[in-house]
Chain A
Amino acid sequence: MKRSPAWPRHLAMVAVCFLMLVPFYWVIKTSLTGENIYAYPPRIIPVEPHLFNYVDVWYLIPFARYFLNSLIVTSMAICGNLLFNTAAAYALTKDFPGRRWLVLLFLSCMLIPFQATIIPAYLITSWLGVLNTQLGIALPLLSTIICIFVFKASFEAVPKSLIDAARIDGLGEWRIVTRIMLPLSKPAIATNVILSFIWSWNAFLWPLIVTRTPEMQTLPLGLARFMSVLENTTGSLHAFVVLVLLPGVTIFLMAQKEFIRGLTSGAIKG
């Protein structure tokens, strides 16, 4: 087999990676800059980098409040996804009348983008009385169709004989799920946790509609608010950006494989 040398390909990929990383570098650099960030020409390497801007974030905005709200919403979304998706997926592996019809219903629900539902979704949330609460933000995020199918595929791979044996031993249906199905579906669990984390952590449009007061707002809203309300010439907005991105990036780097598997098995966000 004729081999072309590898270096041109390395060169191309290094160039691509450089372009992809420049925005990251620029925001981190700005967040560490001590002087007026609007000074021209901007410095490529910050002189006397320091962390004052990160401290400023705590004083300028209720960062802890935003963070707590984000944490609550995200935890609810993750728990809801694990519980509801597991149950739904397990039911879909059973044979009952109307099963095919239900699968079809789920698949067609996937076609409805959430953005196309915001007006009635707002009215429904208001009718349920959970406007401007963390529960209201989390409610539509509590179950995801893609994740149901990820679980279903995983459950279907569990040998039938194992389930029958457990049933003969007298295990109830829910115990079969928690004792046999779930321990054998660790990759599916990881995919569920990561996808629901990323989607609820990053969600913006829905929290923007549902919340009214800063006490209920999540990090992305805090970010947008900071940007539009506080005109400042230090890098604290950019320090905020870095702080907000860190958890997502860390989790992604730790569980890249599961994240990518989730995306490629579902491909389109449901």
Chain B
Amino acid sequence: MTAAPWLARKRTREAALAVCFLLPALSIFFLYRILPLGWNIWLSFHSWSPLKAAQFVGLENYQEMLLDDEVFWESLGNSLIFIGCSPVAIAAALGIALLVNSDLKGAAVYRTIVFLSYPLMTVAVGIIWRWLYDERAGLFNYVLRSAGVIDQPLPFLQSYDFALLCIIAADFWQVLGFYMIILLTGLQSIPIHLYEAARVDGVPTVARFLRITLPLLRPSLFICIVVGILNSFTSFDLIYVMTNGGPGHATELLITHIYKSGFGQTRFDYAAALTVVQFLLLVALTWIANRLAGGNAGALER
């Protein structure tokens, strides 16, 4: 077949059209994703502020971060605690998903109620939980005092020991429904005949769960773990409202540290260096989680 000129013209026309259609979306992603990523890296190697010309300083920002910035290490530690706690929420969500997945009457209602907290505005969630934790008249103190567990009210969000765990609990309350929905989708994609075959072979329930459910749920679990990791670095709204990083820096995360250095102290260059480290950590952790989940974890994302 000869390539007729009209065919070639049609192809260029199609390509031009595709470019025009893609341009608006692409320019937004370029302006607010790709360009910032590069700009961050550039800024992190410079000393710069809006009133001062940029000066190349090499690794100085990073040096300060790693050697002199205790808040950086504290917020990393807090993120690690956050990540360490997330299996609790995922396990709870898995339990709920298993309960709701069965042919239980009213399962849809239960599902809706558990999921209801996820689409809420996180700032409002922070205010609600702050109030639950309140020292004077909060529900938790009231329940604990009425039950005789404590004599004096606990200042949950003002205590170095509890503040971070309190925020993690609030985060779990919000994200539990999301984990449940993801795991439920995973459970429903497991072919029923596998269970039937196992039942015919007389495999006990626990073994069915360990040998069929868990391995086939890996992609969904991977998504939950990645979201848990993301939350542990980026739960800005909750922390801003509930403790603003305090007491001291007991609930500081990298994102609040970045916000404070960038927009509180106008140290954009240093904040950019923090951002680069945060981004690299996120990519590395996601990659590790992906490896642990067996490599084919993107499968469910379609």
Contacts and interface: CB of A to CB of B under 8 A. Distances in A.
A16 B114 contact: yes
Interface in B215-245: 223, 226-227, 230, 233-234, 236-237, 240-241
Nearest to B185: A264
Interface in A2-50: 6, 9-10, 12-13, 16-17, 20-24, 26-27, 30, 37-42
Q: How large is the interface on A (under 10, 10 to 19, 20 to 34, 35 or more residues)?
A: 35 or more
A207 to B, nearest CB: 10
Nearest to B241: A224
A142 B158 CA distance: 39
Interface stretch (B1-9, B67-75, B82-90, B175-183): B175-183
Given A13-B104, A202-B122, A241-B124, A113 B230 contact: yes
Contact of A106 (B29, B119, B122, B227): B29
Nearest to B11: A96
Contacts of A266: 301
B250 interface: no
Interface in B239-294: 240-241, 255, 258-259, 262-263, 268, 271-272, 275, 278-279, 282-283, 286
B54 to A, nearest CB: 12
B129 interface: yes
A249 B119 contact: yes
Q: How large is the interface on B (under 10, 10 to 19, 20 to 34, 35 or more residues)?
A: 35 or more
Interface string A114-130: 11111111111000000
Given A42-B142, A252-B119, A267-B301, A123 B114 contact: no
Q: Which of B113, B134, B199, B240 has the most CB of A within 10 A?
A: B113
A204 B278 contact: no
Contacts, number: 259
A256 B112 contact: yes
A227 B185 CA distance: 38
A54 to B, nearest CB: 15
A120 B43 contact: yes
B34 A109 contact: yes
Interface string B34-56: 11110110010000000000000
B136 A267 contact: no
Contacts of B134: 38
Interface string B1-30: 000000000010011011101101110110
B123 interface: yes
Contact of B241 (A22, A94, A97, A227): A227
B211 interface: no
A102 B22 contact: yes
Contacts of A268: 223, 226-227, 230, 301
A114 B11 CA distance: 36
Q: Which of B28, B132, B275 has the most CB of A within 10 A?
A: B28
B213 interface: no
A168 interface: no
A244 interface: yes
B122 A119 contact: no
Given A26-B128, A204-B122, A205-B259, A143 B25 contact: yes
A255 to B, nearest CB: 10
A114 B275 CA distance: 11
Nearest to A99: B18
Nearest to B26: A88
B282 to A, nearest CB: 7
Chain B binding surface, main DSSP class: helix
A64 to B, nearest CB: 18
Given A40-B137, A142-B24, A241-B124, 14 more contacts: A17-B110, A88-B26, A91-B17, A111-B283, A111-B286, A114-B32, A115-B278, A118-B258, A119-B40, A119-B262, A119-B272, A120-B36, A248-B119, A256-B115
11 contacts: A20-B116, A88-B25, A96-B18, A112-B33, A116-B275, A120-B272, A124-B31, A140-B31, A205-B236, A241-B124, A245-B124
Interface of B: 11, 14-15, 17-19, 21-22, 24-26, 28-29, 31-37, 39-40, 43, 96, 99-100, 102, 104-106, 110, 112-117, 119-124, 127-132, 134, 136-137, 139, 142, 146, 173, 176-178, 181-182, 185, 199, 223, 226-227, 230, 233-234, 236-237, 240-241, 255, 258-259, 262-263, 268, 271-272, 275, 278-279, 282-283, 286, 300-302
Interface of A: 1, 6, 9-10, 12-13, 16-17, 20-24, 26-27, 30, 37-42, 83-85, 87-88, 90-92, 94-97, 99, 102, 106, 109, 111-124, 139-140, 142-143, 145, 148, 153, 173, 198, 201-202, 204-205, 208-209, 219-220, 223-224, 227, 237-238, 241, 244-245, 248-249, 252-253, 256, 259-260, 263-268
